Amino acid sequence: MHNPFEIAQYQVAHAAKMLGLDQNVTEILLHPMRVLCVSFPVTMDDGTTRIFHGFRSQHNDAIGPTKGGIRFHPNVTMDEVKALSMWMTFKCGVVGLPYGGAKGGVICNPKELSKAELERVSRGFIQAIASIIGPEKDIPAPDVYTNAEVMGWMMDEFSRIRQAFTPGVITGKHPIIGGSLGRDKATARGCVYTIREAAAKLEIPMQGATVAIQGFGNAGSFTAFLLKELGCRIVAISDSQGGVYNPDGIDPQEALTVKAKTGSVIYLNDKAQRISNQDLRELAVNILVP
């Protein structure tokens, strides 16, 4: 059972059974209410036309509009977005957001597209799905290989079709056109809130807790800053080239500067001992951020 949609269905069926959920309700939850598959032409920079294929799955809108990311990836499949849209309903549900789940994807490799082509793919996809999205229907967001700029093109295209400035159709836009402040640090912040709550439950004091963080990109580095603010000691960090370990603590700002200059945290300083990612994950620390 490797198909993600079958996995998602199995999980829902299992959870429904444990909850003793009404069979009628379970049946509704086992399938996205709406999956739209589109094929749309895009003019490439060399003048040829290429057909792109995309999907938008909306799982359930019983308590509000649906909501979920759009990914651009060569391997995205219909079953993948169906599964992700189901999980999104429950992700919204557990934190009490008044939204149902959705997810979308376009089969493409953004790394092989020029910026102008990427813009045309983004606009073309929104044209193709415009009749089923909107602030009061389904609200896309960034996801794998899509960012604030892509969201901006999509919002602009939708506004053009509605002939009205409609920032509410999409989240993850740049703040200048109505995006929320703090979105770039939201993942790190959510991670730290979870750590704090888990630590409280496990009675691990944050003050002085040792921390190892695997990955030191946007999410990882900001997590380091936030944990340090809460009194933790960052003893190990890593990136794709390997990691460094200093039981006396690593300064996130210094690490960030080194990484910006050299391309990796492994060049940190003499006090930091090089370790592998594998080693990092096996360190005896209070908090491991994998």
Rounded Cα–Cα distance for residues 152 and 177 (Å): 8
Beta bridge partners of 56: 36, 104
Q: Which positions from 202 to 241 touch a second copy by CB under 8 A, shown as an x/- string?
A: ----------------------------------------
Q: Does 15 bind a second copy (CB under 8 A)?
A: no
Contacts within 8 Å (CB) and 24+ apart, 78-81: 78/35, 78/37, 79/3, 79/4, 79/5, 79/6, 80/4, 80/5, 80/105, 81/35, 81/55, 81/56, 81/57, 81/105
31 CB neighbour count, 10 Å cutoff: 16
Select the span of 25-33, 217-225, 237-245, 274-282 touching a second copy (CB under 8 A).
25-33
- Smallest gap from Cβ 42 to a second copy, in A, equals 11
- Smallest gap from Cβ 128 to a second copy, in A, equals 7
For residue 24 the two structure tokens come to 């009628």
Q: Does 24 bind a second copy (CB under 8 A)?
A: yes
Q: Does 68 bind a second copy (CB under 8 A)?
A: no
Residue 103 annotated as catalytic = yes
Q: Does 288 bind a second copy (CB under 8 A)?
A: no
- Smallest gap from Cβ 48 to a second copy, in A, equals 6
Rounded Cα–Cα distance for residues 151 and 169 (Å): 10
Find the binding residues for a second copy in span 139-168 (CB under 8 A). 160-167
54 CB neighbour count, 10 Å cutoff: 26
Q: Which of 7, 13, 36, 283 binds a second copy (CB under 8 A)?
A: 36
Q: Which residues contact 248 (CB under 8 A, 6 or more apart)?
A: 233, 235, 271
Active-site residue among 67, 82, 103, 173? 103
- Smallest gap from Cβ 218 to a second copy, in A, equals 25
- Smallest gap from Cβ 72 to a second copy, in A, equals 18
Q: Considering CB under 8 A, how many residues would be counted as binding a second copy?
A: 50
Q: Does 4 bind a second copy (CB under 8 A)?
A: no
Beta bridge partners of 69: 141
Contacts within 8 Å (CB) and 24+ apart, 247-255: 247/210, 250/224, 252/221, 252/224, 252/225, 252/228, 253/225, 255/216, 255/221, 255/224
Q: Does 27 bind a second copy (CB under 8 A)?
A: yes
Q: Does 197 bind a second copy (CB under 8 A)?
A: no
Binding positions for a second copy, rule: CB under 8 A = 23-25, 27-28, 30-41, 43, 47-51, 53, 61-65, 98, 116, 127-128, 130-132, 134, 136-137, 160-167, 176-178
Question: Which residue numbers are catalytic?
Answer: 103
